[in-house]
Chain A
Amino acid sequence: MRQSFVAKNPSVLVFLACLGLFTLGVSVLSEGMGIGLISTSFVKTLGKTLCLCLVAIAMDLVWGYAGILSLGHFAFFGLGGYMIGMWLMYARTEGIVAASLSNAEIPPTPDELRSAIANQIFGVVGSSDFPAIWVFAHSLPLQLALVVLVPGLLALVFGWLAFRSRVTGVYLSILTQAMTLALALYLFQNDSGLRGNNGLSGLQNIPGAEGVPQSVISVWFLWASAAALGLGYVIAAFVVSGKFGSVIRGIRDDEARVRFLGYSVEGYKLFVFTLTAVIAGIAGALYYPQAGIINPKEIAPIASIYLAVWVAIGGRGRLYGAVIGAALVSLLSTWFTGGRVPDLPLGFYTVSWVDWWQVLLGLSFVLVTLFAPKGIGGLFDLVAGRRAPDRHGADLGPDPGALREKEAER
């Protein structure tokens, strides 16, 4: 008997309900739309966290379900941010420049306008011409298309090259890390056309919404992020629920057997890799207008590794686990490194959390990997009464490196 999608995935409804309640609650408590209990900057932090949850879902799809430990998904996230940032920066600068030129005696020609904008944007890197990659920056629809196309194409080409030559496992992780590093180093150059290490800034000012206060814009972005997260969750749940999901889990557990069964393993992997890159790009495009600035440091390999950390702590192989991990760890990180946590006096030494949070995070990560491979999501199994079969110490999987049975039971 064919079950409906929702019946097979009860967590989707629960998740959507929680997300809706959360968004509604924050809107009511916010400064811009409600009673003002939550500050605008915290609304932005929550909105950004939702975007991070979205990219964590992408990471969970590609790692927890398809078994590809990609250390490059933050590169796609950053690329999405750069693409939307180009339009935001261009349109805003255009407004400012047009206003200042309209006071001159002679109205400006289009060329003069364009070169004045270029001067304004690229003055910091000693250039006054638009690089070729800014050719679509004047148009919002085109840049929105690029948000999807650029990460998607990069993932398609990279994935095709990597999967075609059967690069798997740790090698693939290192290769994706190298890709991220190469991209970050490239963007750090001043002549990369994206303002070098200055990055793109002033992204929180939305062109065409100059009269709207930031407190309202922050709630808009919260809604947009929540909608994207909800949609992303449904798409991810749909992808992993049917036959397709079974195949990618099969690839994760034993790639060779799936290949022998006649499935085109490379095609499946490539699809998942590209899809998740696109999701990451969209998450980035929603994240950076809330952050206000993007620079190449955001793309550094360490960011992608943190993404893996979130998913691992939350529990990979289940979508809500990724969301919980990303939200919890990133909010805790913000809280601890923000310096608002009281110091812990030990008598002989005072633990200042700004300094010691990283140590705590690193060690807790080791502990989670060692003792709770299911992550926080594993707690739900305790509630549901699901338990892994007792194998009496025997090997859990068919092969070293394959995911264990108890993690793969869904």
Chain B
Amino acid sequence: MRILLAALTFLCLVATAGAQDIAADGPAATPLQSLLKEHRAAIEQGARRGIGPAIEALRDSGLPEARLILEKWQARELWLRKADGLFFLAESAEGGYRLTDPATGEAAGSATRDEVIQIRPNSGIRAVLAGALVQFQLTDPNPAVRAAALDAIARRSEAGHLDALRAVLEDEPDPRLKARKARLERLLTISFDPDPDARIAAIEGFAGDIGVDVRAALNPLVATTRAVAPGEPPAGENIARRLSPGSEALPREAAYAMLVEAGLAPPRIGRAEIRAALAAHVEGGRVGGVPVAELNSDAARERAYAGLAAAGLVPAHLTEAGIDAALAAHAFYDRYAEADPRVTEAAADALAAIALMVGVNQMADLALDALSLASIYFLAAIGLAITFGVMRVINMAHGEFIMMGAYTGYVVQQFIPDYTISILVALPLAFAITFGAGVAMERLVIRWLYNRPLETLLATFGISIALQQLAKNIFGTQARPLTSPAWLDGSLVINDVVSISYIRIAIFVLALMFLGLFLFIMRRTRLGLEVRAVTQNPRMAASMGINPDRINMLTFGLGSGIAGVAGVAIGLYAKVTSELGQDYIVQSFMTVVVGGVGNIWGTLLGATLIGFLQKGIEWFNPSNTLAAQTYMILFIILFIQFRPRGIIALKGRAAGD
């Protein structure tokens, strides 16, 4: 029994000792540490170039701790003990660091500052680490982490991700993430799958898809580089097309320059080189036997150069025939970076189909843009259509009423910090203020000039410059912000090509509302009836008991008030300056004149025509909006030739001719 006990004790002791023994050099024995130790040099050195195998070994090791190590490494929390080359996690403690074993999470003693080194991966290595970590994150229980991992793959994908994605594709519970994973897997197949048939199938699956990611995956496949080779192009190259020197795609000069660059021909001696060579060989006022003073023509310089070449001072001039021979002896071609011709062909076909779809969608986007521009012009012009169209009074200060509305919005925002409420307050307030200004202007100035339209133009212009300068004096010359409410931020994205910002939608809706309002006032109210009567025949209207003065005043006020509201809307997406109105005044006049005076549908048509026209011209030459405006105005001048009274012209006596 004693013996037994003793034996047991011994065994226990041995076991404990053994256990202690393992605990003492435990980390060294774990497969993780041995793996790390194997790559210690690369990890410690921290160079982007040599780090790949180490990270791949960790990633593919299948060890449960691999993810933790990679994450800690990326976060600069991995430490190396110099003495035995073991890796630990560490946190600072008194006199040094407290170490933790990464494999077991157990404490592993402490170390002084000198005993350990922090592994500090640079940004390049951290990116590689992030790529390796993606594989683990794809199976993370948290969907947000999985989505982030997919984003990371989409940003920078590599061949290894393909297998990782395929491995986790079936187990994805979230249907949206699953769809994303499947799409990403197809994209990675295009880029990285070793089997050409699989790639071609994936490419064909994407025909007509307008996503930016698809184009990003396909474009590198059809990218070409220009190359030159003696005789025939080498076999095995995937050649996009042969080029003949002297054609438009490859001018003769460029072709010869390629030869020179490839070291296949001697450099050509151009005019600048001849000049430099001549300047270097001036001797006693002569170069190659030609006096310097005569060297002011190319022929004389050629002669002098020939003289120098004959004397052996400079390399001989290349003859044109020599250049032709050199060009004929070489093949010029564009080659694909991708080696498999079937893949490039499929990619080119898919891209062509995509380009068609993209074109259709761009058209839709352009139409949306044009529509929103048209609604802006319509908003700016509708007030003018009332004053000019109904009363035949041209109001050059209309733009300044728009500006007044915008500044009203700005001032209201200074008092009411909530943007939604401030806009809701600013719209009626702008209407009221500009209505008042319009009525005042009509009473004080315009009604004295009803029989002198050209002078109304000039008087209102005087008011316009006075108001503009007044705004400058009050608000300064710098632009003032008119901030839109948060719910108008951002844009409605339909796909990668078509999108429209919410502010533009709001302006469109506002324009529609004003069209409705105008139609309602003109057709359904007493005021509208009287306005139409005064428009048609003021004297007859007056004899029917309508007061034309009052009607004119109200009409002018209404037109001005709508300009104020338009100002708030325009101020939301453009900067509010004292020149805001000036920028719109000519376009507004164009809108009214093109549309036809005295008819709201004409104004609508005019705004649509001008908006679409401007966007259409911009589409031909997107870099140059100035040219677009120039051509648009020229078009309008020509248009007036054919329909001098606008698209919808008044007929009969109301036309005023």
Q: Is the CB of B458 within 8 A of A365?
A: yes
Q: Is the CB of B448 within 8 A of A186?
A: no
Closest chain A residue, CB of each to CB of B279: A105
> Can you show 6 pairs from A to B with CB atoms below 8 A apart?
A105-B279, A174-B589, A181-B629, A355-B473, A362-B466, A397-B451
Name A106's contact: one of B275, B630, B634 (CB within 8 Å). B275
Answer whether residue B295 sits at the interface, using C-beta atoms and an 8 A cutoff: yes
**Which 3 A-B residue pairings sit nearest by Cβ, starting from the closest?**
A362-B466, A365-B462, A358-B469
Q: Which of A105, A301, A308, A373 has the most CB of B within 10 A?
A: A105
Q: Report the stretch among B28-36, B249-257, B562-570, B637-645 that lies at the interface.
A: B637-645
What mask results when residues 151 to 185 of chain A are scored 1 for a CB within 8 Å of chain B, else 0?
00000001001101111011101110111011001
What mask results when residues 122 to 139 of chain A are scored 1 for a CB within 8 Å of chain B, else 0?
000000000000000000
**Set of chain B residues within 8 Å of A69, measured between Cβ atoms:** 454, 457
- What class of interface size applies to chain B in its complex with A? 35 or more
Q: Is the CB of A358 within 8 A of B292?
A: no
Q: Is the CB of A182 within 8 A of B644?
A: no
Distance in angstroms from B104 CB to nearest chain A CB is 67
**Set of chain B residues within 8 Å of A364, measured between Cβ atoms:** 462
**Set of chain A residues within 8 Å of B589, measured between Cβ atoms:** 174, 177-178
Answer whether residue A361 sits at the interface, using C-beta atoms and an 8 A cutoff: yes
Closest chain B residue, CB of each to CB of A369: B459
Q: How far is the CA of A268 from the CA of B418 in the complex (A)?
A: 62
Distance in angstroms from A46 CB to nearest chain B CB is 25
Closest chain B residue, CB of each to CB of A360: B466
Answer whether residue B313 sits at the interface, using C-beta atoms and an 8 A cutoff: no
Q: Is the CB of B466 within 8 A of A363?
A: yes
Q: How far is the CA of A179 from the CA of B629 in the complex (A)?
A: 11
* Complex interface residues of chain B between 241 and 261 (CB less than 8 A to chain A): none
Answer whether residue B278 sits at the interface, using C-beta atoms and an 8 A cutoff: yes
Please name 11 further chain A to chain B contacts, defined as beta carbons within 8 Å, in addition to the given A108-B296, A305-B458, sorted by A numbering: A105-B278, A171-B640, A185-B629, A185-B630, A355-B469, A362-B463, A363-B463, A366-B463, A370-B459, A373-B455, A397-B451
Q: How far is the CA of A185 from the CA of B453 in the complex (A)?
A: 28
* Complex interface residues of chain B between 432 and 474 (CB less than 8 A to chain A): 445, 448-455, 457-459, 461-470, 472-473
Q: Is the CB of B451 within 8 A of A161?
A: no
Closest chain A residue, CB of each to CB of B627: A189
Answer whether residue A312 sits at the interface, using C-beta atoms and an 8 A cutoff: yes
**Set of chain B residues within 8 Å of A356, measured between Cβ atoms:** 469, 473
What mask results when residues 581 to 615 of chain B are scored 1 for a CB within 8 Å of chain A, else 0?
01000100110010000000000000000000000
**Set of chain B residues within 8 Å of A365, measured between Cβ atoms:** 458-459, 461-462, 465
Q: Is the CB of A105 within 8 A of B469?
A: no
**Set of chain A residues within 8 Å of B297, measured between Cβ atoms:** 109-110
Q: How far is the CA of A110 from the CA of B300 in the complex (A)?
A: 13
Answer whether residue B4 sits at the interface, using C-beta atoms and an 8 A cutoff: no
Q: Is the CB of B279 within 8 A of A358?
A: no
Q: Is the CB of A358 within 8 A of B468?
A: yes
Q: How far is the CA of A395 from the CA of B640 in the complex (A)?
A: 32
* Complex interface residues of chain A between 290 and 329 (CB less than 8 A to chain B): 301-302, 305, 308-309, 312
Closest chain A residue, CB of each to CB of B462: A365
Distance in angstroms from A370 CB to nearest chain B CB is 6
Distance in angstroms from A68 CB to nearest chain B CB is 10
* Complex interface residues of chain A between 355 and 398 (CB less than 8 A to chain B): 355-359, 361-366, 369-370, 373, 395, 397
**Set of chain B residues within 8 Å of A363, measured between Cβ atoms:** 462-463, 466
Q: How far is the CA of A162 from the CA of B459 in the complex (A)?
A: 25
Distance in angstroms from A24 CB to nearest chain B CB is 36
Q: How far is the CA of A275 from the CA of B626 in the complex (A)?
A: 30
Answer whether residue A104 sits at the interface, using C-beta atoms and an 8 A cutoff: yes
Answer whether residue B636 sits at the interface, using C-beta atoms and an 8 A cutoff: yes
Answer whether residue A76 sits at the interface, using C-beta atoms and an 8 A cutoff: no
**Set of chain A residues within 8 Å of B466, measured between Cβ atoms:** 358-359, 361-363, 366
Answer whether residue A82 sits at the interface, using C-beta atoms and an 8 A cutoff: no
Q: Is the CB of B298 within 8 A of A181?
A: no
Q: Is the CB of A107 within 8 A of B293?
A: yes
Q: Is the CB of B278 within 8 A of A106?
A: yes
Answer whether residue A90 sits at the interface, using C-beta atoms and an 8 A cutoff: no
